[in-house]
Amino acid sequence: MASRDKSAQLGAITLADRLRQARRRRFVGRTCELELFRTALTSDESGFTVLFVHGPGGIGKTALLGALAEAAEEAGATAVRLDARTIEPSPPAFYAALGAALGLPERAAPLESFATHRRPILFIDTYEQLVPLDNWLREEFLPELPAGALVVVAGRTPPSPQWASDPGWGELLRVVALRNLQPDDARSYLDAAGVPEDLHRRVLEMTHGHPLALSLLADVVEQHRGALAPGLSLQETPDVVRVLLEHFVEWVPSPRHREALEACAHARFTTEDLLRTALGGDDTHELFGWLRGLSFIEEDPYGVFPHDVARDVLDADLRWRDRASYADLHRRVRRHLVEQARRTRGLEQHRWAADIIFLHRNNPAMRSFWDWESFGHAFPDELRDEDRTPILAMTRRHQSAEQAELVGHWMEHPAATFIAIRAGTGEPIGYGGAITLDQAGESDLAADPGAAAIWEYAQRHGPPRPGESVHAARFLMDRDAYQSPSASNNVITAWHIQHILTTPRLSWDFIACYEDAAFWEPFFAYIDYHRAHEAEYDIGNHHYAVFAHDFRRLGPLEWLELMSDREIGAPAGPPTGADPELVLSQPEFAQAVRAALRFLHRPDRLADNPLLRSRLVRDHGDSSADTLRALVLEAADSLQADPRDDRPFRAIDRTFLRPAATQERAAEVLGLPFTTYRRHLARGVDRTVDWLWAREVHGPQGVPP
């Protein structure tokens, strides 16, 4: 205070003045907190004496205290600032620090001097360092202050329960939890820091509006001359991560506590049973209790979770330091989530499915397909009678009257399932609709070009066996965002996982509702759905792409396991069944079998046979000519099981397996007229085709007709 007054008297600008100006330029937002404080300054009875601001490290508590102190001085009040990091937690040391801040001699009485100032305001920063003095400050020091004084406290954790349990302090205490900057305020900060506008969105995605993270990323942009590397994430900025980590976690008691913290950062919500699965051991109760006490950990009905930036920083740090441990932690956390999703139903299962989806958030190739800001803000609900009108209205608005007519038809059909997506109790913000095609009638399929095209595709490329289900997600939209990443799209992806886990004997599963195929195709390739061009369709001048997965080839649990490594960055291979030739029609299949018989002893020709890309061969795990030859031999050998097929087998044997020089010579060896030999050979080939076709359609357990 004295140095500032002196510089003002001399008319000189000091370094402190320049620092204040720079800080003022970078200070944005916090309008509500400033207004609350100014109201307290200007009113005789503010309703509170102590303003307690709390929030995690780097959230801007010190900057806010500086802004409040300037507001106090502008209003003619006296601002006295203490930083608890420089104060030993004892009453004498606290009094000494207060005296020094007031510019008093060593033995002066600071409380008496403080009381003589006009509207004195005491600011205490880093209050968590004074926890040993909490009772003394609350019960002895603060009550001695003049009635018109204000105290502003900033710390990482909320005030202790004793503040709220005291009826007097219950009236005189106001608690404010400091959060990240709002998007507009964060953009203002980036403008002030000189960050180009075209980078604002990426920086906000990486920082969530956390002030310290914004500051550090702004420095990174400046170092890179106003640019950011494509795809830059916290994992690629270890220096930023290190600084942020120091602000969030100053000290961790043990390696077990560090593991608990890393598990909490990886999962969407953390409970004791998740820690038990992820970490093992009998200390999970203690570890969970420790997590709950951390300043950057918040609580929810579903468990505890870290502040957004703390989560990202902790997760990025482990991934950068120890990729093997990170992958192992991911698998253990994920195993718990999948087990919970498999044994629950309804909204509870939907929540576990959403927790599984949350594991995709740090995959740079996939995170842009979800709206993480609204994640968990909406839910699937049963369709109500009053939902019909708004659903048809949004369909006409975004698609066409023809599509709305089909929606109205399927809403009344028992083969279709619709959900309303709500963010509260009112009208739906979106909806989804799916059809179980094997339960729909021919007239229903014929009336819907989309359903008809999808059903025809399934029949051509692998018709369902008796009791198997063919499912098509036929309708989807968000009322405002249509089919862009949105709260509705978040809900639909979790609903999709529920559907996969709960549909018995699921064969084909089609996602057949998206228009922007170019945008969504990488997403579907990532989740192992190939684009089914032949099934695509047009309705009302809108073209709908279709993506497909055959769960007879890669079952639900295997599919979930495939997603596990992809969630943490494993590259996605070609989708299962991406090539239409992989599932041949019956005539194409028969032609390929005949070619395989002809070239059974020509590996170079077998290597070109389309059967190598069929389910028949792929189910054996080795798509080679040797595998195809073994299957053909097995099929031919099966003819010996039926006495009626003895001559057809012998014809096959002497023509293809142990071939004679010519078919005429084969007939002579068998002692058959040539026409009789040809009849038996045709039957043998047909029976071989039937046996292999049954294996192709029904899998290894298939029985030929």
Cβ-based neighbours of 571, under 8 Å, separated by 6 or more: none
CA 639/CA 630 separation, integer angstroms: 15
Cβ-based neighbours of 281, under 8 Å, separated by 6 or more: 256
Cβ-based neighbours of 413, under 8 Å, separated by 6 or more: 435, 440, 444
**Class of domain 379-574 (CATH, top level):** alpha beta
**Class of domain 2-177 (CATH, top level):** alpha beta
For the chain, the first-to-last Cα distance in angstroms comes to 97
Question: Are the C-beta atoms of residues 617 and 631 closer than 8 Å to each other?
Answer: yes
User: Cα angle vertex 95, ends 91, 98, to 5°?
Assistant: 140
User: Quick one: pLDDT at residue 228?
Assistant: 64
User: Quick one: pLDDT at residue 334?
Assistant: 94
Find how far residue 315's CA is from the centre of its chain. Answer: 14
Q: Which amino acid is at 353?
A: A
For the chain, what are the domain ranges? 2-177, 183-232, 246-343, 379-574, 584-698
- b/e for 114-151, b at 16 or more Cβ within 10 A? beeeeebbbbbbbbbbbeebbeebbeebbeebeeebbb
User: Quick one: pLDDT at residue 432?
Assistant: 98
CA 61/CA 177 separation, integer angstroms: 10
CA Rg value for the chain:
35
CA 608/CA 367 separation, integer angstroms: 39
Report CA dihedral (88, 89, 95, 100) to the nearest 10 degrees: 30
Mean pLDDT by 10 residues, the chain (705 residues): 46 67 76 91 78 90 92 90 91 92 86 87 93 92 90 92 88 91 90 86 85 83 68 71 79 91 95 94 94 86 89 88 92 95 94 94 85 91 96 97 97 97 93 97 94 95 87 97 96 96 94 96 93 95 96 87 84 61 72 93 88 78 83 92 88 92 91 93 93 79 53
Q: Where are the alpha helices (DSSP H) in 267-307?
A: 272-279, 284-292
